[in-house]
Chain A
């Protein structure tokens, strides 16, 4: 079979980090070739080099066995490469067709957009591959799954023969993923080549013809799908035997700790209802997972629970005590710890050092404050303890947090919040961007806290994570809790359907 893409000896450095180290990869025409590896293994960097977004420090790229220089995305497009990025490169305020044609719009009379042609061509490609996309919808009005198809349309419009999909299923429900796989298979049947980037081994085994495994910026191995298995891939990927495991069931579920009753809230900007009669309770010794597609009210819910989002009605109580109208600081002091969505924005002051970050928000509390002044000795000894206990890899406690890895940064937040929160831990996307080892660590810590009798509320966009950790699962859709079920009595498919609002129309067969 002919080789469509070959990358030889690709090396790329970001400062001190060697993101790609003499990487070699060969992709056969008309196949589905997967690249697996942990976060930070260098998969996305390699693909960005292939697409001309980054420049390799050294190495060569061959397309159809001819050496090419890909200095920018237009060169990649000219060489028949299309890339569907993990974070979509779309403009929400424009229509589907405008997004598809951006940069290569059909014109009439030389100067003007040909809107009919714009919509017509988009419709035609959508029909050809049965993608079921409406060219005239605004991108901001369509779902994540459809947005992804718009990205695929963009590549097809530019006559891509090689499509790179970077973590395409990260934010999809099981139903949407299934559709994506159908589309990928159709593209393959049409002679296109697919480069599929992922760290989800199950789907890799489902869809690939061949798999390349990357670790620490290097290619570890390239294997045929038929000669490998999930377990073997995991071993190659991490270097040791780990597959994230389902948490053991809750041991002892006690009294209600955190209780939300009929929480409703509006967005500040357009007075849109963002939370609608949200009620749930989290008991001592359990993890309540909140599953949902991004943007269905999760952010507002967390903000409401820590006193940052104004409620139009509803009541929040902690151990039976009404805390609805408390100030953020008072809520924290009442016993709520939060692992925020974005550690760099809300969780840490990245230019502060480790010890300062270990007591952020607790400056006025004992033992850190003594007669209104900071007691740096207490701060340091607490920091030393946390670093020891949570295995935070830092040269010393006065090392700036921005220089630590994502996993170690996250450990600081987990350590701090667990240390100060006697009752309740709200964890939002607690393992976003972490590698398997760090993810495993955070999962273990949350389960440990659960077994110590704390109430854990877990919000995650990863349905997999929700399924691994939760005792019970609530599904949030358009600001409403549509269902609360026991983990053991549901499946990922059922949850996925609820996350989509109860109905889902598959793409035409």
Chain B
């Protein structure tokens, strides 16, 4: 095969379409985790919350027949799990990484178990109704745009708007100032009469809300089924994107897009390059290997909130 032709068959507009399609769930989870980390809390349980979000959305959509109610339920379940994490990490002041890991393991077990209980056959939920895809008439005539953005999930719009909204909230509103202050020096907030604990709770719950939606997207929009462990590391990749993007809206968004692109690319490579030439497992591992390499190079230079991962102690001397 001609080299140029191979390149051409890899880098197509459908690769761009797939990038957008794949990155939506990572953007939701990444934006959510960015809010959480800005307040000084590191929630490693994102992957688990996404998994429960995906599970809840599919189950509720199955029983009610409405993916919208499924989406809402996924967000609610996300917030509830976030509440458990917030209690353990903020109120009880447990080690945040361990608490996050525990949340993740809890969600893996819980979703697998409930799946078995509800549907008796393991592995998958039944096929469910999905959220609508949006088709714009006016886009049909715009080259590139029509191929990349038309017929994407309805959730693409909030995903694309979220970084802009969060930029405004972070830097143009008092609440954003308090959120950032909670992550930089919670005592500075406490002495001016704002409770850092309240702010951190809200930030964790908001982050979990978006992680729930990011998970729901996977089972009721990107696909139409919940299967065990379907989140497949996207939550952890979102964590990486938050660090890679320096906990800032534009940076995190770009990082999410990049990881989405790598994932889309590995799918394409699997189909373009036949298995006998190259084992497809190598491609499947690509996004994760890149994550490691990038984080290895960037984590040192990343300058996130100064007080990340430290529990706030009121009467500490």
Contacts and interface: CB of A to CB of B under 8 A. Distances in A.
A187 to B, nearest CB: 19
24 contacts: A53-B314, A73-B191, A74-B192, A89-B188, A90-B185, A91-B181, A91-B184, A91-B188, A92-B184, A92-B306, A93-B184, A94-B180, A94-B181, A102-B178, A102-B194, A103-B178, A103-B192, A103-B194, A104-B192, A105-B177, A111-B173, A112-B173, A154-B192, A269-B301
Contacts of B143: none
Contacts of B174: 105, 107, 113
Nearest to A93: B184
The 4 closest A-B pairs by CB, nearest first: A74-B193, A103-B192, A89-B188, A105-B174
Given A74-B193, A102-B188, A103-B194, A14 B177 contact: no
Given A89-B185, A93-B180, A93-B184, 11 more contacts: A53-B191, A72-B193, A92-B184, A102-B177, A102-B181, A103-B192, A103-B193, A104-B192, A105-B174, A112-B172, A269-B300
B189 interface: yes
| Best-surrounded residue of A77, A91, A104, A269 (most CB of chain B within 10 A) | A91
A51 B315 CA distance: 12
Nearest to B301: A269
B105 interface: no
Interface in B176-214: 177-178, 180-181, 184-185, 187-195
B141 interface: no
B69 to A, nearest CB: 30
A276 interface: no
B121 interface: no
A261 B172 CA distance: 50
Interface in A85-115: 85, 89-94, 98-99, 102-105, 107, 111-113
Interface string A65-94: 000000011110100000101000111111
B309 to A, nearest CB: 17
B317 interface: yes
Given A14-B317, A94-B181, A53 B190 contact: yes
A111 B165 CA distance: 13
A129 interface: no
B56 to A, nearest CB: 32
A101 to B, nearest CB: 9
A54 interface: yes
Contacts of B317: 14
| Best-surrounded residue of B181, B189, B193 (most CB of chain A within 10 A) | B193
Contact of B185 (A74, A83, A91, A268): A91
A83 B188 CA distance: 12
A125 to B, nearest CB: 15
Nearest to B171: A113
Interface of B: 172-174, 177-178, 180-181, 184-185, 187-195, 300-301, 306, 314-315, 317
A72 B314 CA distance: 11
A74 to B, nearest CB: 3
Tell me the interface secondary structure of chain B in the complex.
Answer: loop
Nearest to A44: B317
Interface of A: 14, 51, 53-54, 72-75, 77, 83, 85, 89-94, 98-99, 102-105, 107, 111-113, 154, 158, 268-269
B192 A93 contact: no
Contacts of A90: 185, 188
Contacts of B301: 269
Nearest to A77: B193
Contacts of B300: 268-269
A154 to B, nearest CB: 7
Nearest to A72: B193
Nearest to A111: B173
B188 A99 contact: yes
A102 B174 CA distance: 8
Contacts of A102: 177-178, 181, 188-189, 192, 194
Nearest to B187: A89
B303 to A, nearest CB: 8
A113 to B, nearest CB: 6
B190 A73 contact: yes
A39 B174 CA distance: 38
Nearest to A17: B317
A180 B113 CA distance: 66
Contacts of B180: 91, 93-94
A90 B185 CA distance: 7
A14 B173 CA distance: 39
Contacts of A107: 174
A104 B195 CA distance: 13
Contact of B191 (A54, A85, A94, A111): A85
Given A73-B190, A269-B300, A98 B185 contact: no
Nearest to B169: A111
B165 to A, nearest CB: 12
Contacts of B315: 53-54
A113 B188 CA distance: 19
Nearest to B182: A91
A378 B133 CA distance: 78
Contacts of B185: 89-92
A77 B177 contact: no
B190 to A, nearest CB: 6
B191 A89 contact: yes
A219 B218 CA distance: 66
